[in-house]
Amino acid sequence: MCGIVGAIANRDVVPLLVEGLKRLEYRGYDSAGIAVLSGEAVRRVRRTGRVAEMEAAALAEGLDARLGIGHTRWATHGGVTESNAHPHISHGELALVHNGIIENHEAQRQRLEALGYEFTSQTDTEVVAHLIHHHRAQGGSLLSALQAAVKELHGAYALAVIDKRDPTTLVAARMGCPLLLGLGEGENFVASDVSAIVSATRRVIFLEEGDTAELTIDGVHVFDADDAPVAREVHVSDVSLASLELGPYRHFMQKEIHEQPRAIGDTVEGIVDAGGFDAGLFGKEAASVLADVESVQILACGTSYYAGLTARYWIEALAGIPCAVDIASEYRYRKVVGNPKQLIVTISQSGETLDTMEALKYAKAQGQDKTLSICNVPESAIPRASRLVFLTRAGAEIGVASTKAFTTQLVALFALAVTLGKLRGQLDEAREGELLEALRHLPGSVQHALNLEPQVAAWASSFAPRQHALFLGRGTHYPIALEGALKLKEISYIHAEGYPAGELKHGPLALVDTQMPVVVIAPNDALLEKVKSNIQEVRARGGEMFVFADADSSFSESEGVHVIRTPRHVGILSPIVHAIPVQMLAYHTALARGTDVDKPRNLAKSVTVE
Active site residues: 2, 605
Question: How far is 398 from 245, CA to CA, in rounded Å?
Answer: 9
Residue nearest to ligand G6P according to CB distances in the complex: 302
- Which position among 348, 408, 447, 583 is part of the footprint of ligand G6P (CB under 6 A)? 348
Nearer to ligand G6P, 347 or 538 (CB): 347
* Per-residue CA distances from 192 to 56, 399, 469, 494 (Å): 23, 17, 37, 32
- Which position among 48, 123, 356, 608 is part of the footprint of ligand G6P (CB under 6 A)? 356
DSSP calls for 324-363 = EEEEHHHHTTS-----TTEEEEEEESSS--HHHHHHHHHH
Beta partners for 548?
521, 564
- Which position among 20, 184, 302, 543 is part of the footprint of ligand G6P (CB under 6 A)? 302
Question: How far is 593 from 267, CA to CA, in rounded Å?
Answer: 34
Of 2, 101, 107, 89, which Cα lies nearest the Cα of 43?
89
Question: How far is 124 from 103, CA to CA, in rounded Å?
Answer: 8
- Which position among 38, 169, 254, 402 is part of the footprint of ligand G6P (CB under 6 A)? 402
Which span (182-190, 297-305, 459-467, 538-546) binds ligand G6P, by CB under 6 A?
297-305
Of 225, 224, 180, which Cα lies nearest the Cα of 203?
180
Which span (246-254, 437-445, 449-457, 602-610) binds ligand G6P, by CB under 6 A?
602-610
Q: Does 392 bind ligand G6P (CB under 6 A)?
A: no
How far apart are CB 379 and ligand G6P at their closest, in Å?
14
Which span (165-173, 272-280, 296-304, 451-459) binds ligand G6P, by CB under 6 A?
296-304
- Which position among 1, 268, 605, 609 is part of the footprint of ligand G6P (CB under 6 A)? 605
Nearer to ligand G6P, 35 or 309 (CB): 309
Nearer to ligand G6P, 243 or 303 (CB): 303
Positive or negative torsion for Cα 410, 415, 420, 421: positive
3-class SS at 402? coil
- Which position among 36, 170, 607, 609 is part of the footprint of ligand G6P (CB under 6 A)? 607
- Cβ burial, residue 10 (10 Å; 0-12/13-18/19+): exposed
- Which position among 400, 460, 522, 570 is part of the footprint of ligand G6P (CB under 6 A)? 400
How far apart are CB 547 and ligand G6P at their closest, in Å?
26
How far apart are CB 59 and ligand G6P at their closest, in Å?
31
- Which position among 301, 520, 564, 590 is part of the footprint of ligand G6P (CB under 6 A)? 301
Report how many residues bind ligand G6P under the rule CB under 6 A. Answer: 15
Which span (14-22, 191-199, 348-356, 517-525) binds ligand G6P, by CB under 6 A?
348-356
Packing angle between helix 404-423 and helix 302-314, nearest 10 degrees? 30
Nearer to ligand G6P, 123 or 348 (CB): 348
Which span (155-163, 187-195, 300-308, 432-440) binds ligand G6P, by CB under 6 A?
300-308
- Measured CA angle at 346 (ends 156, 158), to 5 deg: 20
Q: What are phi and psi of 391, to 5 degrees?
A: -95, 120
Which span (62-70, 142-150, 383-391, 396-404) binds ligand G6P, by CB under 6 A?
396-404
Contact call for residues 348 and 375 (beta carbons, < 8 A): yes
Spacing of C-alpha 455 from chain mean position: 29
Q: Does 353 bind ligand G6P (CB under 6 A)?
A: yes
Q: Does 518 bind ligand G6P (CB under 6 A)?
A: no
3-class SS at 270? helix
Question: How far is 29 from 119, CA to CA, in rounded Å?
Answer: 24
Q: Does 608 bind ligand G6P (CB under 6 A)?
A: no
Q: What are phi and psi of 357, to 5 degrees?
A: -60, -45
Q: Does 303 bind ligand G6P (CB under 6 A)?
A: yes
Q: For binding to ligand G6P (CB under 6 A), which residues are involved?
A: 301-304, 348-350, 353, 356, 400-402, 603, 605, 607
